[in-house]
Structure 1
Amino acid sequence: MTKFDKFIMVDWSARSKPSAQRPEADAIWIAVDDDVTYHRTRAAAEAALIDLLDQAAADGDCILVGFDFAFGYPAGFAKGLIGRDDAKGVWAWLADAITDSPDNANNRFETADRINASFPGTGPFWGRVKTRGDLPALPWGKDGRGGFGLAEHRMTEEQAKGAKTVWQLMGNGAVGSQVLLGLPLLHRLSQRFGACLAVWPFEQADNQQIVVAEIYPSLINTMVTEAGGIKDAAQVRLLAAAFAEMQTRGTLGEAFAAAPDRPQTHQEGWILGAGVTHALRSAAQAAAHPDLHPPTLSDNCFALPPGVAWIPVDTALTRLRTALTPVVGTENIPLDQATTRIAACTHLAQRANPPAPNTAVDGYGFAYQSASDAGRHVLPLVAGQAAAGQPWPGTVPDGHAIRILTGAVLPSGVDTVILQEDVTCTDTHIVFEGPVKAGANTRKAGEDFFDQTPLLTAGQRLRPPDIALLAAAGCAQVEVFQSLRVGILSTGDEIVQPGHATRPEHTHDANRPMLLGLIRSFGHQAVDLGHVADDRDVLRDMFDRAMADVDAIMTSGGASAGDEDHVSALLQAEGHLTAWRIALKPGRPLALAQWQGKPVFGLPGNPVAALVCTLIFARPALSTLSGGPWLTPQAFHVPAAFDKRKKPGRREYLRARLNTDGEAEIFTSEGSGRISGLSWADGLVELSDGELHITPGMPVRYLPYTGFGL
């Protein structure tokens, strides 16, 4: 599609006299990218707009122009007015019929009265000063209208919460007058710029220098409120910035593609951004806060208070939780790709569920008063039936019934349904015993949730049930945090890869494959950084090269303070390192550092200790860095199936599993070199910091692997 160089958004007005000299609301505002100008009359605004488009055309710029009025009327209007389904023909007809003076004086009410007189019934337009008795076909209120055979709203307005009907010419929020006075402008622009200009979706928006589209500023009202100032000016400025941001993100094409390719669309038009409102709001949010970036961690975020040596587990967790913030940005992705991703904002329902009252059973629908009394009821059947996806278009008269199938929208005149098993029916009538409860076997509109109901909050990891909820709510796109990229690095001269020939002094690398699997099970993106020998220059080079590909690094080995602990030595000399000695068994040394502003978790080299430190410390820390919540492990109190004495001073985690009686038994050896115990176990028993003597049957705190997502 066209790549736009400028974004021009116009807030139109239907005033019958010039706006005040001092800028005010309900006037005409034109935003050209971030520059907003105020115009007192439609004639002045049109002249300014033409100058802008002439200059842009001369400069070779491609321009997206948005107007905040409907580009068409509900399907059938054009044929009723000009004899054919041609929206552009309506523009031409209105351009001839409407007189709009330089001082904003106009004949829109007379034109609406003339149009109403050409349609059967009363309407469709309504809204005028009560004393205008010279407009016999134009009712002042909406009551009593009918028989004109047109819908109240266009199809696109189902995607735009709060959109007013195009038929209302006066009153709070009325938009009908703007449409009557705006469509002649579209005709004049089309005539002036010819093939260089396309009005979307009536014409293709590809490779045109000027593309004109309908906008609805209320789609981004939350951001407009935050922006402050005159609302109309803020709306067009933020919309221009939002569409520019969508183009940068590559989602503007989705906004154009959201318009259904149906004949109805080409009669009624479509609001640019309807159907992808979440992507539009996300772009507007970014435009409203251009300096809002994921915060970086402070250089001393892992620092300990002076004099602190041994750190209790709870203190270490609290310090981590306080120090860390998200380090990833956000992105909009299709819903079907969002499982396991973390929501970056509160997601709102795009429509109610169910969107309209419907039936929960197969049966017969009627008005409640038709069967409110006890005794035998005989109701004649109307022709046809209502089915899911196939609504019955008419109104069921009082005292009549209609065949209705599960999931069908309740036709007008129906508020109660009786099960088909409870009636006797013929081709023309049904018979049943009353009374029937009012509203029986029906679902109310919004019974599950209403349009704009908050569904999921920021920080929630999306599961398949959450995806189902968002899909039911009409959310095609979701804003999520970008996946946290966690680099996994093994260090040490003694480490070799599984399957390679070894000597007695070699150790197979159990940590890196374990940690890569853990990171994936946590829902993050695992980046394999391989293995580095005890060479500080090579290690430095590895850290430097990894910075472009990771958001955090986890190393195993070399995290203590010995001569061969090159990880901690390098981080101490050239990064920002705090070596935490945690009152924990297994896993006392934990190096927390930063390299070029990115966090580094230096784990012990022993796989048992590495696993425990990852589950207890790294898992909640990484969740916070990824935009998720601080995670507390799931725990249960179960009877012990062992005897153990524990000294005070350290918290201990024992490899454990539940036996057939639901008791926690522990691995035969507490030696941290016994890796087989990790696989034997299905969880950990946590023993508190103080002195303990556990005897069989005593309750102990059990943390299942499944509670860690394993």
Structure 2
Amino acid sequence: MSRFDRVVVVDWSANATPKLGADSIWIGRAGAGSGPPQNIATRLESMEALRTEIAAVLQAGQRMLIAFDIGFGFPRGFAGHLTGKRDALAVWDWLAARITDDARNGNNRFEVAAEINRQFPGIGPFWGRPNGRDLPDLPAKGSLRAGHGLDELRATEALCSGAHPMWKLYTTGSVGSQSLLGQAHLAALRHEFGDALSVWPMEGAEAPIVLAETYLSLIDPAVRLARGYPCKDAAQVDLLALAFNRADMGQLTAAPAPPDVLREEGWILGAGHGAHLLAMLEQTTLTPPRLRNDCFAMPQGVDWVPVDTALARLRDALHPLTAAEDVTVRQAGGRVLAQDLVARRANPPAANSAVDGYGFMQGALQGDGPYTLPLVAGRAAAGQPFGDVVPHGHAIRILTGAILPEGVDTVVLEEDCASDGARVAFDGPIKPRINTRKAGEDVGAGASFLPKGRVLTPADLALASALGVGYVQVHRRLRVGVLSTGDELLADPDATAQPHQIFDANRPMLLEIARRWGHVPVDLGHIPDDPAGIATALDEGARDCDVILTSGGASAGDEDHVSRLLREAGTLSSWRIALKPGRPLALALWQGVPVLGLPGNPVAAFVCTLIFGRPALSLMAGCGWQDPKGFMVEAAFTKSKKPGRREYLRARLDAAGRVEVFASEGSGRISGLSWAEGLVELPDEAASIRPGALVRYIPFTSFGL
């Protein structure tokens, strides 16, 4: 069997009514056309979706494997006795002529099974039926069968731990019911598409569309570890499709059994090859690759780098650095989604009332009103559904959030009604479906509702919980190391500072910025101007962190040991940014870990961290490049600037909503950072600002602070 452009895995269902969520129909896809698992309520809907997909694949000239978790054949002797042919596909046609399966999942599988049992000696082989079904030829328990002469399991099922027999029709593991219904549907599909479709292993497997039987539990170890799926069924179809898409199909299909066995019993694709399929899935949990050694290199001849050019180069050089992990929704606040979230159930899960009032079928009203309707006994309330049908022309007392009972599609507000307990009267005309909410009008079951890369908010946790999602897959938090260097710095705030010494302001500032951005701050301490000590600290950072921020020592002076060490490692790129404050920005790798060398001046370090560190760290953390959102406001200051550099001024809004700037532009004035609530961004070109002119203001909240 050659490779496929698209792999589809279908978790089939024998439900007798439409159903979504666990134990319903799920479809997983890998390769071309892949997306989140799809949940479909009825068998007819699912077959129509597959027909549409098959037609699209054929039109595109592609190949597709569709694997169903139903038995394609029965144990040896069954097909020949039932149809006169030792051919599983003859059974498919026999079933297709007798099985009925309507648009609401209503079907006659138990009656057909009883008809089959009558054609075999003794009692059986099929068993299992709902209590109260009067089918004397279909025993309720497997232990009641005798003398039918058929094996319990097929040859392929001996390779699949926990497989249920094809004869079981009811309760957990009723693969027989799924197979009777599934084979009838697949027979119609097979005849509809003719030579473009083949069934493996009974027919060749080189047609554009190949149907195969599978067993979802082949990859159970991976499914048990999977999180972020709405239910186990969704994880199974998604992961098995991915495994099949990556697997060696030749290995999976090589001579599993003699041809006569394959023709009559079929074979489970992947049976006996669970280890190979699991190995294919291990690729999904690999740690993201390290950055290239030359990722930060600027083209030769580049001297001063405009801010926009520097940002674009930085964005192109980086990618997410953290692997994914699974957490509960309650633990997921502020975390970055590593995959799209898919709704486990709809919101609302069923049509319900939006108000307190009276519900009825709008089509029962005659004329434009007023109307009087008799009330049924009882009521419908949230959490207390009305368990009966509201007769046509009757009404029911209904409260906000209550599921609409059968026979109700419209609700009139209580304040617009008069009632004596036996009747309700209200004026008209009444529009159909007023004061009601449709099932899934907010989010439908199986819909993707939050994209990967999103930082989860409290509102997101409420939405995920309402949609039945208990676990989410998120990126591991980015570990950000912060290192200060310089003989002039004092790390101990209780120390007595000499005139030539200053306290380390950058490290506490940068550690808190990293924390507020949702990363894990790692304090790498303060190291004097000692190359060996700095190298040791960088080694520690490379071992424990995903990225390192340094302050000081990033220029080209005699004591700029950080830049010298990085240069000797062969990975330093000193970017001279056309920026005020904070021109030098050193970018490098130390043992494969990115290092951002920030200016030593606290104001310059702060501005560079916001302008360059915020988007860079966000991208490396998995939530994408974060551009700050600014807006134009009137200036409350006067300023003239020369062309050539972009300038950022510490600023805040005054009581009139105009923006004022800090009295001094000196980059040593740390008090200006506390005074400010944002930055005014002045363009690279020359500018003359007068009060009332429009300038771009970026509040610190736009930088996540």
Q: Give me the TM-score of the superposition, normalised by structure 2.
A: 0.68
2:308 matched residue in structure 1: 314
Q: Residues 359 and 12 of structure 1: is their aligned pair in 2 closer, same or farther, counting only changes over 3 Å? A: closer
1:366 matched residue in structure 2: 360
> Contact 2:101–2:107 (CA<8 Å) still a contact in 1?
no
C-alpha separation in 2, matches of 1:140 and 1:106 = 23
2:232 matched residue in structure 1: 273
Select which of 192, 217, 222 maps to 1:245: 222
Select which of 548, 569, 582 maps to 1:574: 569
1:102 matched residue in structure 2: 77
2:186 matched residue in structure 1: none
Select which of 317, 331, 356 maps to 1:323: 317
Does residue 621 (structure 1) correspond to residue 596 (structure 2)? The answer is no
C-alpha separation in 2, matches of 1:614 and 1:503 = 29
C-alpha separation in 1, matches of 2:430 and 2:420 = 20
**Pairing 1:39-188 to 2, within 5 Å after superposition:** 68=69, 102-105=77-80, 140=100, 142=102, 168=109
Select which of 482, 487, 490 maps to 1:496: 490
2:500 matched residue in structure 1: 505
* Per-residue deviation, residues 133-163 of structure 1 (Å, max 9, x unmatched): xxxxxx84659xxxxxxxx8xxxxxxxxxxx
* Per-residue deviation, residues 571-621 of structure 1 (Å, max 9, x unmatched): 111251101111111111110001111111010111000000000001101
* Root-mean-square deviation over aligned CA pairs: 4.2
**Pairing 1:334-483 to 2, within 5 Å after superposition:** 334-483=328-477
1:593 matched residue in structure 2: 588
Question: What's the secondary structure of 1:104's corresponding residue?
Answer: helix
Question: What's the secondary structure of 1:559's corresponding residue?
Answer: coil
Displacement after TM superposition at 1:420 (Å)? 2.1
Does residue 603 (structure 1) correspond to residue 598 (structure 2)? The answer is yes
* Per-residue deviation, residues 287-334 of structure 1 (Å, max 9, x unmatched): 656445423211111000011111111110010011111111112211
Letter in 2 for 1:102: G
Does residue 550 (structure 1) correspond to residue 545 (structure 2)? The answer is yes
Q: Residues 232 and 556 of structure 1: is their aligned pair in 2 closer, same or farther, counting only changes over 3 Å? A: farther
Displacement after TM superposition at 1:186 (Å)? 8.8
Displacement after TM superposition at 1:130 (Å)? 9.2
Displacement after TM superposition at 1:436 (Å)? 1.9
* Per-residue deviation, residues 669-709 of structure 1 (Å, max 9, x unmatched): 11111111111111111111122222222111111111111
Does residue 690 (structure 1) correspond to residue 685 (structure 2)? The answer is yes
> Contact 1:128–1:140 (CA<8 Å) still a contact in 2?
no
Does residue 528 (structure 1) correspond to residue 505 (structure 2)? The answer is no
C-alpha separation in 2, matches of 1:318 and 1:447 = 41
1:672 matched residue in structure 2: 667
Displacement after TM superposition at 1:169 (Å)? 7.4
2:261 matched residue in structure 1: none
1:705 matched residue in structure 2: 700
Question: What's the secondary structure of 1:674's corresponding residue?
Answer: coil
> Contact 1:128–1:169 (CA<8 Å) still a contact in 2?
no
> Contact 1:344–1:458 (CA<8 Å) still a contact in 2?
yes
C-alpha separation in 1, matches of 2:213 and 2:545 = 38
Question: What's the secondary structure of 1:581's corresponding residue?
Answer: strand
Q: Residues 523 and 131 of structure 1: is their aligned pair in 2 closer, same or farther, counting only changes over 3 Å? A: closer
Displacement after TM superposition at 1:372 (Å)? 4.3
Letter in 1 for 2:391: P
1:58 matched residue in structure 2: none
Question: What's the secondary structure of 2:427's corresponding residue?
Answer: strand
C-alpha separation in 2, matches of 1:508 and 1:560 = 20
C-alpha separation in 2, matches of 1:212 and 1:411 = 32
C-alpha separation in 2, matches of 1:165 and 1:495 = 79
Structure 2: runs of 5 or more not aligned: 1-8, 15-67, 84-92, 113-123, 129-138, 144-150, 165-171, 183-206, 244-277
C-alpha separation in 2, matches of 1:584 and 1:690 = 12
Report the identity percentage: 49
> Contact 2:635–2:695 (CA<8 Å) still a contact in 1?
yes
**Pairing 1:225-236 to 2, within 5 Å after superposition:** 236=215
Displacement after TM superposition at 1:555 (Å)? 0.7
> Contact 1:278–1:478 (CA<8 Å) still a contact in 2?
no
Displacement after TM superposition at 1:549 (Å)? 1.8
> Contact 1:278–1:475 (CA<8 Å) still a contact in 2?
no
Q: Residues 165 and 307 of structure 1: is their aligned pair in 2 closer, same or farther, counting only changes over 3 Å? A: farther
C-alpha separation in 1, matches of 2:545 and 2:600 = 21
Displacement after TM superposition at 1:214 (Å)? 8.3
C-alpha separation in 2, matches of 1:650 and 1:656 = 18
Displacement after TM superposition at 1:231 (Å)? 6.7
Q: Residues 583 and 412 of structure 1: is their aligned pair in 2 closer, same or farther, counting only changes over 3 Å? A: same
> Contact 1:367–1:414 (CA<8 Å) still a contact in 2?
yes
Letter in 2 for 1:357: A
Letter in 1 for 2:345: R
Q: Residues 444 and 650 of structure 1: is their aligned pair in 2 closer, same or farther, counting only changes over 3 Å? A: same
* Per-residue deviation, residues 95-115 of structure 1 (Å, max 9, x unmatched): xxxx9652435779xxxxxxx
Displacement after TM superposition at 1:229 (Å)? 9.1
> Contact 2:362–2:409 (CA<8 Å) still a contact in 1?
yes
Displacement after TM superposition at 1:439 (Å)? 1.0
* Per-residue deviation, residues 502-537 of structure 1 (Å, max 9, x unmatched): 211211111011001111111211111111121111
2:194 matched residue in structure 1: none
C-alpha separation in 1, matches of 2:235 and 2:360 = 39
Q: Residues 103 and 480 of structure 1: is their aligned pair in 2 closer, same or farther, counting only changes over 3 Å? A: same
Q: Residues 10 and 300 of structure 1: is their aligned pair in 2 closer, same or farther, counting only changes over 3 Å? A: closer
Does residue 515 (structure 1) correspond to residue 510 (structure 2)? The answer is yes
Question: What's the secondary structure of 1:305's corresponding residue?
Answer: coil
Q: Residues 141 and 658 of structure 1: is their aligned pair in 2 closer, same or farther, counting only changes over 3 Å? A: closer
Equivalenced residues, count: 532
Q: Which moved more, 1:637-646 or 1:304-313?
A: 637-646
> Contact 2:678–2:699 (CA<8 Å) still a contact in 1?
yes
Q: Residues 283 and 479 of structure 1: is their aligned pair in 2 closer, same or farther, counting only changes over 3 Å? A: farther
Select which of 635, 645, 652 maps to 2:630: 635
1:645 matched residue in structure 2: 640
C-alpha separation in 2, matches of 1:165 and 1:531 = 73
Displacement after TM superposition at 1:280 (Å)? 7.8
Q: Residues 380 and 510 of structure 1: is their aligned pair in 2 closer, same or farther, counting only changes over 3 Å? A: same
Q: Residues 508 and 659 of structure 1: is their aligned pair in 2 closer, same or farther, counting only changes over 3 Å? A: same
Structure 1: runs of 5 or more not aligned: 1-8, 15-66, 71-98, 109-126, 133-138, 144-151, 153-163, 172-178, 201-210, 219-227, 259-271
